[in-house]
Structures are given as structure tokens and as C-alpha cells.
Amino acid sequence: MTQSVSFRITRTAEDVAETLNALSQRLIKLENRLESLELQLERQSSEVNTMPAEEMERLDGVDRLLTDCKDLLLRSEPQWVDPPSSVMSSEQDLAA
């Protein structure tokens, strides 16, 4: 009976060792894949951040134009809006 117990323990230890080895191999593959994905993400991130100089100049020009338009709109008095007094008199006419 001692021999069969010893065989079972040895067999179980071998199974555990094989499982541990398989898990270790899988872990190594996953670590390599993670490293590859991180490098790919880093590369894509750096490509997005490096915008061509021409495009940056164009965007700066658009930004300046928008700022100029905004300044013009703020400085000019809108002509398409009725003066407040006519609005008040229209409201008074409606109330009467």
C-alpha cells in the first residue's frame, strides 16, 4: 500500500509541475504581447502628436481669423436688432 500512495504523490507533483510550466509559458507570451501593444500604442501616440508644420501653420491662421472675426463682432453694434424702446412699446401694445 505504501507504493501506491508514493506513486500518486509523484504523479500529482508531475501534474503540478507540468501545469506550472504551461502557465509560465502562457505568462511569457502574454507579457510579450503586452509589450508589443504598448510599443504600438506609444508609436501611434507619437504620430498623432507630430503634426506637419504646414498643417500647424494653417490651423494657426484659422485661429487668428476666428479671433479677428470675434473681435469685429464684439466691437460692432448689431444693426439687425430692434432698439429696446421699440420692443417695450410692442409689448405694451400687446398688453393693451
Cα angle: 70, vertex 73, 74; to 5 degrees: 85
Q: What is the pLDDT of residues 6-53, one digit of tens each?
A: 666 677 888 889 999 999 999 999 999 999 999 999 888 877 667 678
What is the distance between the alpha carbons of residues 73 and 89, in angstroms, rounded to a whole number? 28
Q: pTM, whole model, 2 decimals?
A: 0.43
- DSSP conformational letter for 81: S
- Residue 91 host element (H or E): helix 84-95
- DSSP conformational letter for 83: P
Report the pLDDT value the prediction gives residue 35, as an integer from 0 to 100: 96
